[in-house]
Structure 1
């Protein structure tokens, strides 16, 4: 069941924005992550029969059909590629694809930590994708001969490329929360998850990467799936947001530790630019200032869900893509697509905020120096 919630493919809507004057284009983008960035890796060898996210109405807004992205359209990485004048990144497992402009290694269910971490704690059955960050980095190593012929050529390409490392962590926490572990115990996993991301960043820097984007996690307590599963006493909800406070605290702690790790890596690698990309603030903005972003002001509700079932329009037995679930008429006025992932409209706003601010530190297209 958890495999379906965490099924991650994302994209984003909105149009394209003019490049900042003088902004240099990247030669390629290499993207790693989970369902917030999966462009179809989970589906390249055939669509699993249980995979609701590979059925309509997924993909309805932009592509007109499901692509393996867990959204109604494009994901953040798609908007970024289009804005930088690059083609949409092919899934790294795609057959007969060209990867000269980059590749998307993200896979739905991807984790920061390897499966062995969860198995050692009795959580193995809550991890259903073997595509951890370090597994994806192995796929990247395997691809190098297809995109560059010598170590020097590879380093030259990577110096001119943008690397997006994540988001990672969402599925690590989902596995723990899905097993109903005490929240205090889940908090003890945060340093392991963040340190694993740090090791991944260092590996890419060793490969020659000098421009990296590292996203934090979403505010877990604001998503209809978690709001439906973890029912709390009234005082446990944010008075303005309607989100579960202690789950959002978990996300906040992860993001704070990740930003500390990024600061350490910046000091150790002064010639490398590492951008912290913020999902958390963006989603809180969509909830607290909905009209500013073109969204309906409402409790967190899915666009694609089971109408009439609960105030969040979310039902574990009728999730998006399954019988009994329907999409809203206009996904662009919702930020939550299926209760776990975002709409193309939300991803479009986030991509713009990462490229130009305010949802990044520093903005991706600010102060590029090579």
Structure 2
């Protein structure tokens, strides 16, 4: 009996060790998330750079609803990437530039308010190209800390989430108010081309799963309505047209990459359409006001939230927009949920949950690198 008790005890210890190891491996198996974008995604990176106050949200009333203090997010609370992180059991985003320790095995958020795909549009913020440089630094750190094999596994199964382009089109509309159809299309191709160049570089570093948020209905925001003296039912047609052209070109480009790049997986969240639905059917989604912003000055409260003499609503949860361009915590929550588990009419060909759960094999990356080393086709042609 004594020997049996001993064996039973040893078995329990071994089982516990195996269980702990398995649990540890499962906890590490979650997919990381790397985030690129502008003010719709920035968790406060601009707090740590020298840029104008209009590119920062580190003052009240930003952050008042959820965090209870301004974090640098352009909202009264969380952003769409925060809700994606919540559903994926990741921490709420800490800015990549924030000092202190970072857990890059969970990913990182590089987004910067005011960022654009065309770097020259505003050199005072962190352009998409500069965000890529920051990502490359993270890749180097992961390889140093974990070794190539484990780092490659993280990079291969990570999701690369991007939402950028809106700033480019606002700038173009301001600079070229009488642009022709051809000029618009050429500009869209430049923006898309710059985004694709970044995606190709991430792919070359091992990225295989890409999530795109398309451009907002830029002509329908409170800022556009106020800037062009529009009624509530109107949208500024030129900026709206640029957004539509961009979104169509993004779908085409992603599908081409799917054919050209082995193992390339993508989803596109139709932010344009879902936000239009919220804006033109607010009561259906639990909102009372979809045209006037909660915070700001002017006819639509579309400017200077937190700056100077501005007005602030009593209950942001009743509003779609918190300021002239950015959504409330509640609106971001609605859209984040749709991004996470929406149907094909909202996010396609998969939703974010399905993309994160998609586990890829290392053979595809190995093949790409061998082709590249041999001087063979790397699908960039």
TM category, shorter: 0.7 to 0.9
Q: Which residue of 2 aligns with 1:369?
A: 358
Q: Which residue of 2 aligns with 1:209?
A: 207
The answer to whether the aligner puts 1:114 opposite 2:119 as a matched pair is: yes
- Larger radius of gyration between Structure 1 and Structure 2: 2
TM-score (norm 2): 0.79
TM-score (norm 1): 0.81
The answer to whether the aligner puts 1:102 opposite 2:99 as a matched pair is: no
Q: Which residue of 2 aligns with 1:177?
A: 173
Residues 245/176 of structure 1: CA separation in 2 closer, same or farther (3 Å cut): closer
Are 2:173 and 2:238, in contact at CA under 8 Å, matched by a contact in 1? no
CA distance in 2, matches of 1:297, 1:25: 42
Are 2:56 and 2:113, in contact at CA under 8 Å, matched by a contact in 1? no
CA distance in 2, matches of 1:288, 1:49: 31
Correspondence 1:291-370 to 2 at 5 A: 291-296=283-288, 300-306=291-297, 309-310=298-299, 312-314=300-302, 316=303, 319-358=304-343, 359-361=346-348, 362-366=350-354, 368-370=357-359
CA distance in 1, matches of 2:326, 2:53: 20
Q: Which residue of 2 aligns with 1:122?
A: none
Residues 268/187 of structure 1: CA separation in 2 closer, same or farther (3 Å cut): closer
1:114 CA displacement: 2.1
1:210 CA displacement: 1.8
CA distance in 2, matches of 1:33, 1:141: 16
Residues 51/266 of structure 1: CA separation in 2 closer, same or farther (3 Å cut): closer
CA distance in 1, matches of 2:203, 2:339: 21
* Deviation per residue, 1:241-285 (Å, 9 max, x gap): 432333222211110001100110111134221011121011111
Q: Which residue of 2 aligns with 1:8?
A: none
Residues 285/50 of structure 1: CA separation in 2 closer, same or farther (3 Å cut): closer
CA-atom RMSD in angstroms: 2.2
CA distance in 2, matches of 1:243, 1:48: 28
Q: Which structure has more RCO (C-alpha within 8 Å, separation ≥ 6)?
A: 1
**Which protein is richer in helix relative to its size?**
2
CA distance in 2, matches of 1:274, 1:243: 30
Query: Match of 2:130, SS?
Result: helix
Query: Match of 1:254, SS?
Result: helix
Alignment match of 2:269 (pick from 246, 260, 277): 277
Gaps of 5+ in 2: 1-27, 360-381
Correspondence 1:58-77 to 2 at 5 A: 58-77=62-81
CA distance in 2, matches of 1:112, 1:214: 14
* Deviation per residue, 1:52-91 (Å, 9 max, x gap): 6221000011111111111111000011101110112221
